[in-house]
Amino acid sequence: MAWVSLQRDGAIAELTIERADKLNALDRETLLELRAAVGELQREPARVVLLASAGERVFVSGADIAAMSSMSVEEARAFSQLGHETFDALEALPGIVVAAVQGAALGGGCELLLACDLAIAGEKARFGQPETNLGLIPGFGGCSRLLRRVGVGLARELVYGGRLMNAEEAQRVGLVQRVVPQAELRTAARAWAEELAARPPLALARAKVALQAAESSDARSAARVEVEAFASLFAAADTREGLTAFLEKRTPTFRGV
């Protein structure tokens, strides 16, 4: 049975985890399907990827605890490596990835969210890295990404103590960017995706590269990446269109070239 679906609608791709009967928990098979879908998006990029999950109460409950309970050290290492590879590939997509979080995003679910560019949450959503409650630690990149997103002090508090955050706090600390009423989440997420898809895709892709460099490398290296990304856009028709439209006081038409 397929646990992950990928559907395209113009410039937007909708990537959905559909394992609601298991609270959308991430086992090996689900990660492999997610990795395959991300691979398709690498080969044929979308301007915006809207990442969602099935059900009403849970975004992704985390890694599949039942599957982990019998793992050996080597199996656990391979499982963690698969999670890293999958989330790294998602993070590296050229399009902007927006997570729509309707409920609990815990453990691996929070790590999945952290691999996305932006997130919009329903008001009942909850977030956290409670792995230490099970005698574990985040295994899919959560420690490093959470630290970069919310700062070292709060990351330590959340990981060491296993504390959960509500949507309001998650927005306040920058884990998510927008919080909307629960009933409006899907509509609001789609509207945001359409808003982003209408923007110049090459500029957004270069901005993503520059922002990721600033997040993960030293200031001088990040500055060099930004200079090259900025300069490269002057070979693009979209950039000429944007500059010309501004001077002519009209709305630009961006074609992604």
Look at residue 256 and tell me if it is in a domain. no
Look at residue 19 and tell me if it is in a domain. yes
Q: What is the pLDDT, as a whole number, of residue 105?
A: 98
Look at residue 78 and tell me if it is in a domain. yes
Where residue 107 falls (left for φ over 0; alpha for ψ -120 to 50; beta otherwise) is left
Q: What is the pLDDT, as a whole number, of residue 1?
A: 53
Mind listing the pLDDT tens digit of every residue in the chain (257 residues)? Answer: 589 999 999 999 999 999 999 999 999 999 999 999 999 999 999 999 999 999 988 999 999 999 999 999 999 999 999 999 999 999 999 999 999 999 999 999 999 999 999 999 999 999 999 999 999 999 999 999 999 999 999 999 999 999 999 999 999 999 999 999 999 999 999 999 999 999 999 999 999 999 999 988 899 999 999 999 999 999 999 999 999 999 999 999 999 89
Same domain, 132 and 32: yes
Look at residue 81 and tell me if it is in a domain. yes
Same domain, 111 and 234: no
Same domain, 73 and 108: yes
Same domain, 225 and 166: no
Q: Domain range holding 223?
A: 201-247
Number of domains composing the chain: 2
Same domain, 178 and 205: no
Enzyme catalytic residues: 111, 131
| Domain final residue, candidates 197, 214, 232 | 197
Same domain, 38 and 148: yes
Q: What is the pLDDT, as a whole number, of residue 216?
A: 87
Check if the beta carbon of residue 242 is closer than 8 Å to that of residue 200. yes
Same domain, 140 and 242: no
Q: What is the DSSP string of the chain?
A: ---EEEEEETTEEEEEE--GGGTT-B-HHHHHHHHHHHHHHHHS--SEEEEEESSSSEEE--B-HHHHTT--HHHHHHHHHHHHHHHHHHHT-SSEEEEEE-SEEETHHHHHHHTSSEEEEETT-EEE-GGGGGT----SSHHHHHHHHH-HHHHHHHHHH--EEEHHHHHHTTS-SEEE-GGGHHHHHHHHHHHHHTS-HHHHHHHHHHHHHHHHS-HHHHHHHHHHHHHHGGG-HHHHHHHHHHHTTS-------
Look at residue 253 and tell me if it is in a domain. no
Same domain, 9 and 97: yes
Residue 53 sits in a domain whose CATH number is: 3.90.226.10
Determine the Cα–Cα distance for residues 158 and 124; give it in Å rounded to an integer.
19
Same domain, 169 and 209: no
Q: What is the pLDDT, as a whole number, of residue 56?
A: 87
| Domain final residue, candidates 181, 197, 213 | 197
Check if the beta carbon of residue 186 is closer than 8 Å to that of residue 100. yes
Same domain, 105 and 172: yes
Q: What is the pLDDT, as a whole number, of residue 256?
A: 87
- Two tokens, residue 75: 């199996």
Look at residue 252 and tell me if it is in a domain. no
Q: How many residues does the chain have?
A: 257
Look at residue 210 and tell me if it is in a domain. yes
Same domain, 95 and 133: yes
Same domain, 55 and 120: yes
- Two tokens, residue 6: 């990928």
Look at residue 257 and tell me if it is in a domain. no
User: What distance lies between CA 69 and its chain's CA centroid?
Assistant: 27
